[in-house]
Copies of this chain bind each other. A is one copy, B any other.
Amino acid sequence: MVMTAFREPLELQTFPIPELSDGEVLVRLAASGVCGSDLHIWQGHDPRIALPMIPGHEALGYVADFAGARSYFAGSPIAEGDLIVWDRGVTCGECYYCVQKKCPSLCPNRKVYGITRPCTEPPYLLGGYAEYMVLDPKTKLLKLPPDADPAVLVPATCSGATAAHAIATSGIVEGDTVVQIGVGSLGLFATGLAGGRRPASLIAFDVKPHCLEVARKFGATHTVNVLETTPEERRRMVLDLTDGRGADVVIDASGRPENILEGIALLGRCGTYSLPGIAVPAGEIPVRFYEDINLKNVRIQGVWVSDHVHLQTAIDLVLSGKYPFEELISHRVRLEEANEALEALARGEVLKAVIVPDGD
């Protein structure tokens, strides 16, 4: 399904399966997510896009073919028929961020399947809204159990990995009080991961009662409906749970700029505000540096995308079987229904839609 123009329906096109170069892997797709960012892309809001291109950066599939020798990072060679997932970002391994800072997610040469890769040249098939994809030699591969449900694993490839990145840099330790703002897909992964670190309290904020219910199953010890409470009531609740101190860590996965100041203000001294949830420009937010950051010795931590380590963490969380990740997948559609899925997403009707070969 090719995006040829912004805000126009994707077109079903046919490409030849390209001859593979050394190290390339041909994947028969098993599941591909329809992400909120795909909507931004389709609306023309993402400056990284060159048309025509095949969207879809959240994908899993089966090894259909490969050229040369390729291995999983565990060292075993890949084999035809393996169910695999991969880091959607392909990084250079040579730049300052890859080599010196060891933060490949910040590589300026990072290329993302389904986002920065047009379909105008071989190997064409570089997005997940398709039957097949071709993976670069530098793509990092992870083998999955053959009986895993590919659709349920889809959110781990993008929001789950980003959540793992946020938790890894959040510094949560045992006994902390954690506020999780927003418990959509990203926020639920963060909740599950944060809970393992044994916080004293893990408080979920959201506007949807259903999401808050699910958050309980992911380990939230308290839930708060933001539509039914005032900011002052929420602040009071956090203070009451912390003997008046405030939260140790706030993870804001709401993606709503209007929540930023409330999130920062919920912190106690020495607290950390982690912001993985902003994926588009949010305008200017007036921050009181003295009262909210300096005087409280607070840390604000921006979190941008993820690397292979975070992908692995998110996949492992789903595979652990401890959380009902299947509840996150509300729609399974066929490839030809991608336009309908995007439209339903735009109307706010879907929690998460996944393209699977045989649809629902």
Residues of chain B with a CB closer than 8 A to A71's CB: 94-95
Q: Choose one: B197, B300, B317; the contact of A196 (CB below 8 Å).
A: B197
Residues in B whose Cβ lies below 8 Å from that of A173: 168
Show 20 A/B contacts (Cβ-Cβ < 8 Å), sorted by A.
A74-B243, A97-B269, A99-B308, A100-B175, A103-B270, A106-B296, A164-B174, A168-B173, A197-B197, A198-B320, A200-B316, A269-B304, A275-B294, A278-B289, A285-B287, A289-B302, A293-B300, A295-B302, A295-B304, A297-B304
Q: Bound state CA distance, A276 and B96, in angstroms? A: 26
- Tell me the complex Cα distance, A96–B301, Å: 23
- Minimum CB–CB distance for A235 against chain B, Å: 17
B99→A309 contact, CB < 8 A: yes
3 closest cross-chain pairs (CB), A and B: A284-B286, A293-B302, A196-B196
Bound together, the chains give a CA A353 to CA B150 distance in angstroms of 50
Whether B94 and A74, one on each chain, are in contact in the complex, defined by CB atoms closer than 8 angstroms, is no
A302-342 interface with B by 8 A CB criterion = 302-304, 308-309, 312-313, 316-317, 320
Contact with B along A132-155 (1 / 0, CB 8 A): 000000101000000000000000
Q: Report the minimum CB–CB distance from A204 to chain B (whole Å).
A: 18
Chain B residues with CB below 8 A from A303, complex form: 294, 297
Instruction: Name the residue of chain B whose CB is nearest to the CB of A221.
Output: B320
> Which among B73, B278, B285 is the interface contact of A100 at CB below 8 angstroms?
B73
Q: Is A193 an interface residue (CB 8 A)?
A: yes
Interface size on A, residues (CB 8 A): 73
CB contact under 8 A between A98 and B73, given known A198-B313, A286-B286, A295-B304:
yes
- CB of A88 to closest CB in B, whole Å: 15
Give this chain's copy count. 4
Instruction: Please tell me if the beta carbons of B286 and A281 are within 8 angstroms of each other in the complex.
Output: no
Are A299 and B297 in contact, with the CB atoms below 8 A? no
Cβ < 8 Å to B, chain A residues 69-126: 71, 73-76, 93-103, 105-106, 108
Tell me the chain A residues, 268-283 only, with Cβ under 8 Å from chain B. Answer: 269-270, 275-276, 278, 280-283
Across-interface contacts of A100 in B (CB, < 8 A) = 73, 175, 308-309, 312
Known contacts A75-B95, A196-B198, A282 near B286 by CB under 8 Å: no
- Kindly list chain B residues whose C-beta atoms are within 8 Å of the C-beta of A41: none
A298 on the B face (CB < 8 A): yes
Additional A-B contacts beyond A73-B95, A108-B269, A295-B304 (10; CB < 8 A): A73-B94, A76-B243, A99-B309, A174-B193, A281-B291, A285-B286, A287-B287, A294-B304, A295-B302, A297-B302
Closest to A261 in B: B284
The answer to whether A359 has its CB under 8 Å from any CB of chain B is no
Determine how close the nearest CB of chain B comes to the CB of A227; give it in whole angstroms.
Answer: 23
Indicate if A347 sits at the interface (CB-CB under 8 A).
no
B99/A102 in contact, CB under 8 A? no
Contact partners of A105 in chain B: CB under 8 A: 297
CA–CA, A194 to B322, complex, Å? 16
* Distance from A102 Cβ to chain B, minimum over Cβ atoms (Å): 4
Measured CB to CB, the nearest residue on chain B to A295 is B304
A217 at the interface (CB under 8 A from B): no
Q: Are B282 and A288 in contact (CB under 8 A)?
A: yes
> Which B residues lie within 8 Å of A299 (CB)?
299-302
A287 to B269, CA, bound (A): 21
